[in-house]
Amino acid sequence: MQKKVNFFSDNEDFLWHFDNKFSFEDAWKWVSPEAREATGVSSAKEYAALWRDVLGSFGEVCGSAIAPNARKVEEDGIDLDAAGNVVVPETLRRNIETLIQIGVPGVGASPEFGGSGAPMFVELAANEILFRACPSTALNTCWWGPIAHVIERFGGDREKQMAIPKLATGEWSGAMALTEPDAGSDLGQMTTWAEPQPDGTWKITGTKRFISNGNSEVILVLAKNAKGAVGLDKLSLFMCLKEEDGKRNVHVTRIEHKLGLKASATCELKFDGAKAWLLGENGKGFHAMLQLMNEARIGVGVQGVGLMEATLRMAQDYANQRHAWGKPIARHELIAEKLLDMEVELRAARSFALSACFAHGMVHLGEEYLLRNPGLPAAEKSAVEAKLGRYRRRVRKWTPLLKYWVAENAFLHARSCMQIFGGYGFTTEYRAEWWLREAMILPVYEGTSQIQALMCLKDTIKHAINRPRALFEKALGNQVMAMSDRDPLDRKLARCRQMYYGSVLTTIKQVVAEAFRSSRREAGGMDLLKSIKLLGRELQRQENFGPALLNAERICEMKALVCMAESLRRDCKKDPSRKWIYERFLYKAMPRITCLKTFVEQEDPVIAARLASGSAREAHRLKGPVEAAGGHLQGHGNIARGADGNLPGAGGSHPVH
C-alpha cells in the first residue's frame, strides 16, 4: 500500500508562513464578488481556511501520488514523432490527469471562465509543493493559471472565450514563446514578425527556441509588428493556437535533449504564417509580457525553495542513518554545520519567497479591484492606489533578488546534499545526483542570474542617481544604528545595510568617473552630490556603466542578503521562537557582505585591461560596417538599449523560455 505523505501539512515552516505571512484580511477586501460566490465563503477567516484546505489536499496528492512517480517520469522521458507530435509517457500523463481531476488547472482562473479565482499568492506558493514532488511534472502543469491571467488581462472577449475555459479545465495547456535561436536577452536581435490581416487576425513568421511546454495548445508569442521593425515599441504580444481549422498552425521542429527536466518538452517552434490574435495594444507587447515574466520569475524562486526542501530532507535522513566512528554523521561537526546552514538558508529563502508571492498577489488583486470599481470615491481610490504602490515597489525590488539568490543557492544545496551522500550520491541508486541535475536549470531559465543582477543594478543605480541625498542619509543612518541600536542582532543588520549602501556609493562613484571621462569634462574637485546633479541622465547611459556592470552580481547578492535578513527579522518580531533563524543567517551573511564589499571597492587592472583589449579588437572588426552606418553603434554587450541610448526599464531583460 502506498504510504500517505502530505507535502503541505508535513512542513511546519510552510504552515507558519501561510498563517502569518498571507494576510487574508487584506486580500479579502479586494476579492471580487464573483470569486467570493464561487468559493462559497463569507469572511476572510473562512477564505483563509478554504485555501489552507486546498493546499492540504494538493500537498497530499503531490506527496502520495506525484512524488512516487518522479523517477519513472524521468526514466521514460519524452519523444518527438515523425509528425511533429510530442509523445508524453504514461507516467507523466497519469500525473497530469491526477492534477486535472482535483481541479488544479482552474484554481487561479476567474469564475467567469469556470475557475475558482484563487489569490495569485496561493497559486505561486503551490509551486514549492509540486516542484518538491516532481520538477518535470511541475513544468508541464504550471502554465494553466499564468497563461489564463495574461489572456484575461489583455485579450478581447473572443480571445478569452476561445482559450480560458479550456485552460481552466486542463483540456489545453499553455506556453510563452520569447527566445529565438540568436536572440535571448537582447530583444533587439529578435526577427520573428507579424503582419495584420483584413479579418483582424495576424500572421506570424519566424522561429522560437527553448520554449518550455512548447507542445501546448495555446502559445503566447512576442513578435515584431512588422518585418524588420526596430525598437521595443514595435513588439506586440499575440496568441497562437497549435491547431487552427483542424490543421497544424504552429510546428514543433525539435525538442531539446537536456541535462535535467527530461520529461518537460523544451521545443523549437516554427511559425510559417501562423494565424494569431493580438493581445493588448499594438506595440505594447513588451509591457504586457512583463506581467507573465515577473510572475514566472517569482515562481522559479518558489520552485527553488521546493528543491531546497527536498534536498535538505534527503540529506538529513541519510546523515542521521549513516554512522561513522560510532555516531551518525549528522553529529560530526562538519556535516552538522552544513545541515544547519542548509536549514537556515531554506527558511530564509521561504520567508522571502512567500513575502514576494503575497506582494505580487496583492498587486494582481488591487489592479483588478480598481478596474472593477472605476467610480470609487476619491479618498478610497487614493488609499487603494497608495497601498497598491507599496506592493508594486516591493515586487519590483524583490523579484530579481529572489530569482537570483534562490536559483544560485538551490544548486549549492543540491551539491551539498550529494556531498553528504558521499560516493552514493554520485550514483543513480539514490536521487541526490538527480536533484543536482534538476537544480542546474534554475539559474538559467526565466532570465539568467546575470540578467537578474543587471535588473537589480539598473534599478538600484537609477534610484540612487535620482535621489542621491536619500542614499547618503541611509548610509549614515545605518552607521549610527550599527553603533547604537539596543538589539545586538539589529546592530549587525544595520552594519550589513551600511556596507551595502557603501558599496552602492562606491559603484556610483565609478559610474560618475566614467561619465566624466566619456564626456571629456573635468570633475574639478566637485563632491559626489554635485557631480550627480551636473551629469544627470548621462549617468544612466550604457557606455558609462562598465565599472558598475562588473559589480552587478555583488550588489545583487548583498541586496538579497539584506532583504532576506529583514524578512527574518519581521518573522521573529511576530514569533520570538524564530529568532535563532535570524541570528544564524546574520552570522553567515555579515562576513559574506564584508567580502563582497571588498571586491566592489577594489579596481582590478587585469579585468580592465582584458575588457579594453576586447573592445579594441571588436572596434577594429566592426570598423568597416560602423563607418558605413555613420559611425553609430546601436548597442553592445548583452544589454538591449532603448532608442534614447539609455539602459532599458525593469523589464529590459528577456527570459529564456
- DSSP 8-state symbol, 64: I
Set of cell numbers at residue 175: 506556453
* DSSP of 89-157: PHHHHHHHHHHHHTTGGGSSS-GGGT-----HHHHHHHHHHHHHH-HHHHHHHTTHHHHHHHHHHH--H
Pairing of the two strands 202-212 and 218-224:
unpaired
Tell me which of 159-163, 437-441, 599-603 is least confident: 599-603
- DSSP 8-state symbol, 63: I
546 phi and psi, to 5 degrees?
-50, -55
- Chain center to CA of 609: 34
Q: Rounded to whole angstroms, how far apart are CA atoms 180 and 193?
A: 12
Q: For position 162, what pLDDT does the model report?
A: 96
**Distance, first Cα to last Cα, the chain:** 39
Q: For position 638, what pLDDT does the model report?
A: 34
In this predicted structure, the answer to whether residue 529 has a pLDDT above a threshold of 80 is no
Q: Rounded to whole angstroms, how far apart are CA atoms 52 and 22?
A: 11
Pairing of the two strands 327-328 and 243-244:
unpaired
Q: Rounded to whole angstroms, how far apart are CA atoms 560 and 192?
A: 36
Beta bridge partners of 375: none
266 phi and psi, to 5 degrees?
-105, 110
Going by pLDDT thresholds of 50, 70 and 90, the confidence category of residue 484 is confident
Q: Rounded to whole angstroms, how far apart are CA atoms 442 and 465?
A: 32
* DSSP of 570-595: HHHHH-GGGHHHHHHHHHHHHHHHHH
Q: Under CATH, what is the fold of the domain 173-283?
A: Butyryl-CoA Dehydrogenase, subunit A; domain 2 (2.40.110)
Give the tens place of pLDDT for each residue, 617-657. 665 555 544 333 333 222 323 333 333 333 333 333 333 34
Q: For position 645, what pLDDT does the model report?
A: 34
Give the tens place of pLDDT for each residue, 24-37. 999 999 999 999 99
In this predicted structure, the answer to whether residue 534 has a pLDDT above a threshold of 70 is no
Q: For position 183, what pLDDT does the model report?
A: 74
Q: For position 524, what pLDDT does the model report?
A: 57
Which one is predicted more confidently, 218 or 188?
Answer: 218
Q: For position 232, what pLDDT does the model report?
A: 84
Which one is predicted more confidently, 538 or 49?
Answer: 49
Q: For position 596, what pLDDT does the model report?
A: 97
In this predicted structure, the answer to whether residue 491 has a pLDDT above a threshold of 60 is yes
Tell me which of 25-29, 283-287, 397-401, 553-557 is least confident: 283-287
Which one is predicted more confidently, 469 or 365?
Answer: 365
Contact 225, 193 (CB under 8 A): yes
Which one is predicted more confidently, 201 or 631?
Answer: 201
Length, in residues, of the chain: 657
Tell me which of 329-343, 430-444, 627-641 is least confident: 627-641
* DSSP helix/strand/coil, 241: strand
Stretch 65-75: mean pLDDT: 95
Region 1-171: CATH code? 1.10.540.10
Beta bridge partners of 603: none
Going by pLDDT thresholds of 50, 70 and 90, the confidence category of residue 461 is confident
Q: For position 632, what pLDDT does the model report?
A: 29
CATH code matching the domain that covers 290-447, chosen among 1.20.140.10, 1.10.287.70, 3.90.1150.10, 3.55.40.20:
1.20.140.10
Listed by start position, the domains of the chain span: 1-171, 173-283, 290-447, 460-610
Share of the chain above pLDDT 90, in %: 74
In this predicted structure, the answer to whether residue 412 has a pLDDT above a threshold of 50 is yes
Mean per-residue pLDDT of the chain: 89
Q: Rounded to whole angstroms, how far apart are CA atoms 104 and 636?
A: 44
Set of cell numbers at residue 41: 465563503
Centre a 10 Å sphere on the Cβ of residue 586 and count the other Cβ atoms it contains.
23
- DSSP 8-state symbol, 274: E
Going by pLDDT thresholds of 50, 70 and 90, the confidence category of residue 384 is very high
Contact 394, 289 (CB under 8 A): no
Backbone φ/ψ region at 422: left (φ over 0), alpha (ψ -120 to 50), beta: left
Give the tens place of pLDDT for each residue, 446-459. 999 999 999 999 89
Q: For position 525, what pLDDT does the model report?
A: 59
